[in-house]
Amino acid sequence: MQAGSSTGQGRRSDVSPSRSSPLVAGTNHYRLEAMDAPNDPQRTVLGYRDSGGNLVAMPEDTIKGGTLGGLMTFRSETLDKTQNQIGQLAVSMVTGFNEQHRLGQDLNGEQGGDFFSIGQPQAYSYPRNTGGAEVIGTSFDAANIHQLRATDYTVRFVDDAPQVIRKDNGQQLAADQVEWDAVNSTLGFGGITLAFSDTPDNGNRYEVQPVRRASANMESQIIDLDKIAAGSFVAAGGDMVSGQLRAETDALTGLVGSQNYAMSLNTVGTLIFGAGDGAVRPATVLVNGEERTVDVDGTVSGASLTDGATLTVDGVSFKVKLPNANQGEFTLDLGIAASGTGDNRNALALQNLQSQALVAGRSSLSQAYGGMVSDVGNQANIVQVNLDARQGLTAQLKAVQQSESGVNLDEEAANLIRYQQFYSANARVIDTASTVFDTILGLRN
């Protein structure tokens, strides 16, 4: 711990850690105690009792050396990062697997449900917040899970709008990466969504941990093997879809048997549902989350669709491709796939997830895991190199100290022999002097 000391009048001594109140002030002393971090009750930090008896948290970087300093440095530089990477890996895998599982149907002919459950993001209010606005709900945004990152965030409100800052690099997210709905008090960023009880006051801050402890609550939700959705559930034929289909729970409930949704999209973005043999027109659809009605002629109301717009029809979502003048129009027939005992199309799709870029939209599961192991290995190697260097320095300092104040056994043995010889010589001198005195005294008599 870095601390300073001072001596005042009357030989009074004060000891104070940097940026903290005194631990020793004259004849008074204040205890150090372990406590929960003010902005994260699941994190233990060091605190001290001030003169009023209040327990005050000390900044974590105050502790620099010793065993405690080493543990806290390991936690901040390695453990936190690794926990976030494991959480990101688990959430990406669970979200991708559940999304694909809902596109299949089980042996009972029912749509597949969530195969796994996972812990949700965690958010904590700072103690000095005002107004009483709290985070009342957190969830992962499956549609934007590619934006999920292995980092914590600090959210603070300035000018009635949120600012989101990454804690791993201290950078603020760009405005187009943050979605704030002031009417519903919901905030979306980085693949997660936060719901507030009210609009937070300016100056309020919140600690957000999207994936720190998510993997600890990962569990399988399917015990009955007949509930595994190995067969295909959603049948999509056509050239309108861009990217991957997504199915919500209870999707395509508006269809019976071989019925389907037959739709076409022209070059100007007009979407029309057909009414041919077996075709069904939904009452409403969602375009980029906005509800649109379907007119009696099958045309979707509202503005024309744009390339890449997200269309949701009866719980099935996908991004649309807009045809050019040469292509004329794109079509899509959306329905329930015919499946049976030998259908393993969705099982194969689940298997293929291992090679897809599920993690942050750019890495497969094995690539992300390999990167995490490499990071931990590099940190371990750095720590070992530092340990070796410190041990070498300690050995050098010990040698210097021993050269000045240490005991050389060979030198001491030689000195003992020399002192013994001096003693013997002096004894001979005394013996000779005694003989001389005796002789002189004898002559006088």
pLDDT in tens, 257-310: 899 999 999 999 999 999 888 899 999 999 999 999 999 999 999 999 999 999
pLDDT the model gives residue 20: 57
pLDDT the model gives residue 13: 62
pLDDT the model gives residue 134: 95
HSE-CB of 437 using CA atoms within 13 angstroms: 6
Residue 425: C-alpha distances to residues 183, 412, 415, 422 (Å): 106, 20, 15, 5
Least confident of 187-196, 353-362, 367-376, 395-404: 395-404
In the block, residue with structure tokens 């590619």: 146
In the block, residue with structure tokens 């499946």: 339
Q: How far apart are the first and last CA of the chain?
A: 84
pLDDT the model gives residue 63: 80
Is the CB of residue 91 less than 8 Å from the CB of residue 148? yes
Q: Between vectors from CA 345 to CA 338 and to CA 241, what angle results, nearest 5°? A: 80
pLDDT the model gives residue 12: 60
Residue 289: C-alpha distances to residues 231, 253, 267 (Å): 29, 19, 22
Mean pLDDT confidence for 159-170? 94
Mean pLDDT confidence for 208-222? 94
pLDDT the model gives residue 119: 94
User: Bridge-partner residues for 332, per DSSP?
Assistant: 238, 263
In the block, residue with structure tokens 């293929």: 352
pTM beyond cutoff 0.85? no
Tokens of 375: 């990071």
Q: Name the pLDDT band for 412 (thresholds 50, 70, 90).
A: confident
The percentage of residues in the chain with a pLDDT greater than 70, rounded to a whole number, is 93
pLDDT the model gives residue 248: 94
The answer to whether residue 2 scores a pLDDT higher than 60 is no
